[in-house]
Amino acid sequence: MNTSRTSTHMGLIAMAALWGASWPWGRIVAQAMPPLAAASLRFWLASLLLVLWLYRSGRMSALRTLGGSQWAGLACACAVGVLGYSVFFLLALKTVPAGKAATVVALNPVLTMLFAVLLFRERVNTVMCLGLGLAVMGTLYALSDGAPAALMSSSGAGEWLLLGCAACWVAYTLIGRVVLTSVDALTATTVTACMGAVLLLVASFVQEGGSAWAGLLKATAAAWYSLVALALGATALAYAWYLKGVQQLGAGVAAAYMALVPLFGMLWSSLWLQEPVTRSLLEGGAASILGMLLMNAGRMRMGREVPATNV
C-alpha cells in the first residue's frame, strides 16, 4: 500500500514536470511551426493515444450512452479548453519567454476558485483568500518584470494572450465541473481532445491555408520532438498520472502538485532555452507557488471541519 502511494506521489511530481516542460516545448514549436497546424497535429497524436487508452479500459461503450446535453457540454469544453487554450498558448509563446509564461499557471486555480464561489457558492476561508491574493500578485509581478502597477501600459500582446490562456482554462474547468457529474473523466478528456483536433484542423485550413501543413515538413527536428512530447507527454501521459492521483489521493492533494508547474517551467526553460532567470521572475514565481500552497492548505482545513448541527 505504501509503495503504491509513493509511486502515485512520484507520478504527480512527474506530471508537474511534464506540464512545466510544455512551456519550453511550446516555445520551440511556436517559433518553428504554424500555430494552428501544430496545435491540430498535437491533438491528433494525443487523441490516438487517448482513444487506445479508452478502448483498453473498456469504456468505449460509454460513448453510445451520451445524451445531447452531454455532447453539447463536451463541445463547449472543447471550444474553450482545447481550441481557445491552444491558440492563446502558442501565439503567446511566439513573443513571451517560456519561463515567464509558465507563471500564469498560478492564475488557473485562483480564478477557478473565484468563479466557483461566484457561480456555485463554494465556501472559502481566510487562508484560501490569503493564498488567492498572494498567487495573483506573484503572477502579476513576474509577468510585469517586477512592476505590476505598470502592467496595463507596459504589457505586450503576448502577456495578454497568456491571460487568455488562464481564462480558457478556468472556463474549461468550470464547464467540466458540470459535465463530469455524468461523464467519467477519461471519456470527457478523450472526446474533447478528438473534437479539438478536428476544430483546430478546420481553423488551420481556414486561417493558415494548406501551405501551413506543407510548412510543417520544413520544421526543425527539435520542433518535431517538442510537438510529439507535447502530445504524448504533456497531454496524454501527464493526464494519466493526474487521474491516478485523483483516484488514489483525492482531488485536493493531486491539485496541490500544480504548484510545482511554474517552478519546473522556469527550470526547464533556463536549462533548455538558456532563458535568464531574473530576480522578479524568482520572487514572483515563489509568491505564486506559496499562494497556491496556502489555497490548498485552506481547502484541506475546510475539508476537516465538521459542520455544526442545528439543536
Q: What is the pLDDT of residue 250?
A: 65
For residue 99, being part of any structural domain is answered with yes
Of 88, 148, 122, which is closest to residue 287 (Cα–Cα)? 148
Confidence at 279, pLDDT banded by 50, 70, 90: confident
Span 25-65, pLDDT tens digits:
999 999 999 999 999 999 999 999 999 999 998 889 888 88
CA quadruple 247, 170, 151, 17: dihedral sign: positive
For residue 309, being part of any structural domain is answered with no
DSSP state of 234: I
Model confidence at 154: pLDDT above 70: no
For residue 274, being part of any structural domain is answered with yes
Q: What is the pLDDT of residue 52?
A: 93
Model confidence at 206: pLDDT above 80: yes
Q: Which amino acid is at 57?
A: S
- Burial degree of 184 (CB within 10 A; 0-12, 13-18, 19+): middle
Q: Which residue has the higher pLDDT, 239 or 256?
A: 239
Number of domains in the chain: 1
Q: Which residue has the higher pLDDT, 239 or 41?
A: 41
Quote the pTM value. Answer: 0.82
For residue 134, being part of any structural domain is answered with yes
For residue 308, being part of any structural domain is answered with no
For residue 41, being part of any structural domain is answered with yes
Model confidence at 1: pLDDT above 70: no
Model confidence at 303: pLDDT above 80: no
For residue 310, being part of any structural domain is answered with no
Confidence at 248, pLDDT banded by 50, 70, 90: confident
Q: Residue 91's domain spans which residues?
A: 2-303
